Structures are given as structure tokens and as C-alpha cells.
Amino acid sequence: METLLFLAHAEDDGSLSRAALEALTGAVELHRQLADAAFAVGLIGGDVTPAVAAASGCGAAAFYAVSGADFAVSRYASDVVALEAICRTSGATVVVAPATSRFNRVIPGVAQRLGGRIDTHVGGFSVNGADLRIQRGYYRQRMIATLTRAARPWFLTLDSGVFPTWNGAPAQVPVTTLDVAFGDNLGRTRVVGYRTPLANAQTIRPDAKLLFVAGVGWTKKQSDAQVHLDDAAKTIMGFLDKSGASLGSSKSLVDQSSEGHNVFAFMSHLNQVGQTGSTPRHPKGLSTCCHGEEPHVVGWRFIGERRAINLDTNCGWAQGKADVVYVADAFELVRKVTELL
């Protein structure tokens, strides 16, 4: 019989992040499918009271918490001992956790301490009797693999955007608070504060509702036979500022930077979407000045609603790859939309 443990860390205000609430829905779903499995929740953070309340109605029989100022911050040395203690106390055989940057750093270390195994980027489960299988995308290879493992404990970090956020009614639950002692290791890493880039310096925003893709058309000669790079940069950044969208790019556009052409300073290969780029998840996507070729569009498979702006009525988007295509000049249209925003 499996013991399923859902792990999460509280945010600064004690709440659970969207990624954690989505992973909780995944854990509840897995518990429903795993006949006879015990179900526990483990939370770490400065103050986990709101997080416990948010998760309390999930049906878990046991709640474990490690809290206090030492656990408010993301730090490997303290997180790893807290999570190890929760895993050992709960006797977990399957551990589900959100793939947040804090957990991506520490969960592999917890798996190592417990002699377990870990799979990351998990996008789904299926259970047949006692046989648990997971799905994991290998995006570059354009494959979804189904995996199973005999080794336990088995740690699974869930990508966000797969499950809906958990919204169950709170319930009264007993919480077991664990006292965790750590040695001198902690003294080596002190968190003295955060330095974050300006909001407009970070163009990749995984939580944005909209993916805005720029293609190489922004750098091409326009109807006046001139290139308008400055105008293009201002139009794109103006739209991103107003809409809060995440910026994606076609390969051809980001490749220009490595070839010494005039390019956009705010773009790098990290923005590239597609077969040899990323496969972001957003509810909506808007492609601009991008032709919509298959190696690019394959990176849109997790975009809910697709729209494109292109001058060419025969572009790839118009051939069944987008829900709506605006046959228009993207410079004019994006400027107008930004104005309206």
C-alpha cells in the first residue's frame, strides 16, 4: 500500500502559491486513483497557518508542518532537513510536490537523503490497480513518455498549468509540528535579502495569461521599403508593459542576435518557442510577424487559444494553426491595442 505525501512551501504571507494549489489538485486526484493509499500533507514556511487552511479540505488524514523564521526563506540547508523530517515521519512512498524554483533546488537532495528516486516535469498520472504510471514530456524530442518505477520513495515534481487550482472548503485538521534541528551547515548560508530585476527587464513570465510571440517580420523591410527596428522594439515593449504578457520569439528572430545583426536587446534564445525552444503554457497566445511554421508552432501545443497577426493570408497560422488570424500590419495593430490598453 502506498503512502502519498503532498509537499508544499508557504509564500511570504503564509499562503500557497498557484503552482502549489495546482499540484495539490494533482495529489488529490492521484489519491483518488490509488486504491487504499494513505494520504498526508507536509508544509514548510515561516507561518504555515494559512497554507494549512488552504489544504485542509483535501482529504489527507495527517498534516505535518515545519515552520519558523529559519524556514521562511528558500535555503537548501534548512529546506532539506525540514522536508527530510516530514518525509521520514510520514513514511511516504510517493511524494508529490510543485516544481517551484525553491523545490526544484531542494527536492532532488531530499530524494538522495532518503535513497529514493525523482522524476521532474511530471504532467499526468495513470493508475491501474496498484501500478502507478506517470507522464513526462521530453519536449525537444517531441515525445511524451509513460514511466513507472519500483523504487520508493518516488518523488514527483509537477509542472504548473497541468491541473486546476485546488479550491476545496477548509476543514478542521490536526497538525503535527515537527521540531527540526540542523547543525552548523545553516550558518554558511544566510539570506540577507532579495534583489529582483525591474518588472520590465524580465520578459519571460510563466504566470502571464498571454504569450506574445514576435517573429522576424518585425525586423524586415516594411511597406515603405525601410526597416523600423526602434519602432518595433518600442511597440513590442510597450505592449508587454501594458498587457503583462510573456514574450516568446521565433527561432529566426533570436538567431539574428548571434549572427551580429541589429536585434532587440530584450530578447535572447531563452525566449525561443518551438521544437528546439520552449513549450510554454499560457491560456492565450498572440503571434505577430511570425510565419507559423511547424517547427515553431509545435511549441504552442499547451497554448489554449491561438491568435496571429500576419500580412500574409497564406501564412502557416491561416492554415489551421490559429483560432483567429488578423490579416493586418502588426506595427499598426499592436500599437492600437496598446493604446486601448
Ligand X SMILES: Cc1cc2nc3c(=O)[nH]c(=O)nc-3n(C[C@H](O)[C@H](O)[C@H](O)COP(=O)(O)OP(=O)(O)OC[C@H]3O[C@@H](n4cnc5c(N)ncnc54)[C@H](O)[C@@H]3O)c2cc1C
Buried residues in 53-65 as b, exposed as e (16+ CB within 10 A):
bbbbbbebebbbb
Residue with Cβ nearer ligand X (35 or 327): 327
C-alpha cell at 27: 495529489
Minimum distance from CB of 168 to ligand X (Å)?
39
C-alpha cell at 336: 492600437
Quick one: DSSP state of residue 272?
A: B
Cβ contact 101:120 at 8 Å: no
Minimum distance from CB of 213 to ligand X (Å)?
8
Minimum distance from CB of 234 to ligand X (Å)?
14
Residue with Cβ nearer ligand X (175 or 333): 333
Residue with Cβ nearer ligand X (44 or 330): 330
| C-alpha closest to that of 292 among 326, 319, 328 | 319
Minimum distance from CB of 328 to ligand X (Å)?
7
Minimum distance from CB of 326 to ligand X (Å)?
9
Minimum distance from CB of 203 to ligand X (Å)?
16
- What's the gap between Cα 119 and its chain centre? 15
Minimum distance from CB of 279 to ligand X (Å)?
9
Residue with Cβ nearer ligand X (4 or 273): 273
Residue with Cβ nearer ligand X (26 or 277): 277
> Which residues sit opposite 284 in a β-bridge?
210, 305
Query: Residue 312 and residue 316: Cα distance in Å, rounded?
Result: 9
Where on the chain is the footprint of ligand X (CB under 6 A)?
Answer: 215-217, 220, 222, 250-253, 272-277, 289-291, 293, 295-296, 299, 309-312, 315, 329-331
Residue with Cβ nearer ligand X (113 or 335): 335
- What's the gap between Cα 218 and its chain centre? 28
> Which residues sit opposite 117 in a β-bridge?
154
Query: Residue 39 and residue 96: Cα distance in Å, rounded?
Result: 11
| Contacting residues for 341 by C-beta, under 8 A, at least 6 apart | 239, 242, 243
Residue with Cβ nearer ligand X (140 or 209): 140
Sign (positive or negative) of CA dihedral 315, 205, 137, 6: negative
Cβ contact 37:130 at 8 Å: no
